[in-house]
Amino acid sequence: MITKKVSFLCGVLIFVGVKGFKIPLEADYVSKDKLTYKAEIGPSIYEEYNYCQAKYPSISTYKPMEGSTLVFLQGVIRHGDRTPIQSYTNDTAVWNECGGSNDVVQLYPNGLSGNSGPPVKIEIAQPKAGERTRPNIFWKGNCKDGQLTDKGKSQHNILGENVREIYVDMLKYLDKYLSDGTSIRVRTTDVWRTQHSAQSFIQGLYPPYTRGDKVVVPLSHYPRPLENMRVNLEYCPRIRQIFEKIKSSKKFKKYLRRNKKKMKQISSVFGEYKYLDRKMKDSWFTIMDQLNTLRCHNKPLPCSASSGYCATKEDAELALKNAIFENQIYRHNKEFFNEVVRLTAGTFMHELLDEVNMVIEQDKLLNNQALNKRAHQKLLSSKERLPKFSLYSGHDETISSILAALKVPAPLSDWPPYASSVFFEVWRSNSDNLYYMRVIYNGEVLGLTSKNSKQQHQTISCDLSKCPLVDYISYLNALLPRNVSSECLRV
């Protein structure tokens, strides 16, 4: 597949012509920018795990649900490849990975029908070096911390292209030509990299020649206090309390003691930076993230200025394995599982379910034989008609929360790679008009027999390759929070 050069606009998105478990012990690198290890725990649909790149859904392996009609599609994605979120004094990496596209923001004070302000190009600037300016010891390059790289944009552009091949070209479900931006719904978090990922995805799904010149796709996000695609520790203190209880458990302390010396050694390479020091004493998450963002770009790993020790690719592998294990401890803890799911995934899954229920009601109306032709046409052309596709652009924790809610076991629920995707398909049986849910994670249908085993991936009570919608809803309803405020504040 040829990767097209992508152009992006920010703000209002305007297209102008444009479960215990054993951690693997050995790791293999298959290329310079591809961090992989072969799973050794039980059946897995993965032949290998690649943190740097998720598998794409593919038209060559995709199969429609037999004897059924697709009536709704939801996609939840993790942002693509990005720069490190934290900076540190010993960082020698130069991040010139963000120059392949530009953000141009244009304000419309009186709405899109009014006059617009001048286009404003957004750039990352660097201060000039000097004794009286902040020296560039923490950051170098044309990117900002945590920014989607050009590689990350390309990942989602390709993902969008693959989705087009399946749902436009093959199934004829989504419109071939985008004449109205409201026919798809897009929500991101209030973070640049998720917004850019969504834009890149849509650019692949609807390239310039497949959309109108003045098509505007609304790109919405929630205020951070209300965000439900992230684990909102600040506004849900009960989650933090649960995680602290798990962290103080014998199992967790034993896990930390196992590699305490190694953790201290690796942490030393990040220099004397107290903020990072605090985050690296009782968790591998930050170490994993720092090292593996570098590994994904084959950039040199940092060295300690005091001891001279330099981090190695084996350190990056160890950090990744430990972070995966740590994430499983938090997500699949027997004592707190239901509560963790309710407070981390519950409100978002509830939102997805609400959307599905509304679409089902609409679909029933559209297939009501008693509805006269005029009323049918009015519904079809109504501005209130729901979109065929909703895209949610989030983070690794967004995907992890969904996989935990669906009880997807390890290693399938290992740390979601960059550009991971979960697609929820709602199908209507042509024979009895019953509805079914199918879930596809990184191109593989959940619940199907794996390539390497005759066993199935047991998730929830039904097979997610064809789960009766009533069963799916019943299962999730038992996990959804009844009163979010009271549950979150129960400390």
Residue at which a domain ends, from 295, 328, 361: 328
Considering the domain architecture, whether residues 371 and 461 belong to the same structural domain is answered as yes
* 461 domain residue, yes or no: yes
**What are the DSSP calls for 396-448, one per residue?**
HHHHHHHHHHTTPPTTTTSPPPTT-EEEEEEEEETTT--EEEEEEETTEETTS
Considering the domain architecture, whether residues 373 and 349 belong to the same structural domain is answered as yes
Considering the domain architecture, whether residues 292 and 349 belong to the same structural domain is answered as no
* 374 domain residue, yes or no: yes
Q: What is the pLDDT of residue 215?
A: 87
* 36 domain residue, yes or no: no
**What are the DSSP calls for 157-204, one per residue?**
HHHHHHHHIIIIIIT--S-SSB--GGGEEEEE-SSHHHHHHHHHHHHH
Considering the domain architecture, whether residues 318 and 392 belong to the same structural domain is answered as no
Q: Give residues with Cβ within 8 angstroms of 424, minimum separation 6.
A: 73, 74, 75, 76, 352, 356, 437, 438, 439
Handedness of CA 56, 423, 9, 96 (dihedral sign): negative
CA angle 144, 15, 186 (to 5 degrees): 70
Residue at which a domain ends, from 328, 360, 383: 328
DSSP structural state of residue 65: P
User: What's the rounded Cα separation, in Å, for the pair 80 and 96?
Assistant: 16
Global pTM value? 0.86
- Residue (of 29, 32, 28) closest to 296 by Cα position: 32
Residue at which a domain ends, from 278, 300, 328: 328
CA angle 296, 302, 303 (to 5 degrees): 155
Q: Residue 298: which domain range?
A: 237-328
Q: What is the pLDDT of residue 277?
A: 60
* 18 domain residue, yes or no: no
C-beta separation of 198 from 219 below 8 A:
yes
Q: Give residues with Cβ within 8 angstroms of 278, minimum separation 6.
A: none
Which pLDDT tens digits describe the chain residue by residue (491 residues)? 444 444 333 334 433 322 222 323 222 222 233 333 333 333 333 457 899 999 999 999 999 999 999 999 999 999 999 999 988 877 889 999 998 767 777 777 666 666 666 777 777 777 776 656 665 666 788 898 999 999 999 999 999 999 999 999 999 999 999 988 888 999 999 999 999 999 999 999 999 999 988 888 989 999 998 999 999 888 899 999 999 999 999 989 998 998 899 999 999 998 765 556 666 778 999 999 999 999 999 999 999 988 889 999 999 999 999 999 999 999 988 899 999 999 999 999 999 999 999 999 999 888 876 666 666 666 666 556 789 999 999 999 999 999 999 988 878 889 999 999 999 999 999 999 999 999 999 999 987 644 433 444 445 668 889 999 999 999 888 888 888 889 998 87
C-alpha torsion angle, residues 24, 30, 34, 35 (rounded to 10): 20
Considering the domain architecture, whether residues 316 and 363 belong to the same structural domain is answered as no
Q: What is the pLDDT of residue 405?
A: 92
Q: What is the pLDDT of residue 191?
A: 94
Q: State the amino acid at position 40 in one-letter form.
A: E
Q: What is the pLDDT of residue 367?
A: 81
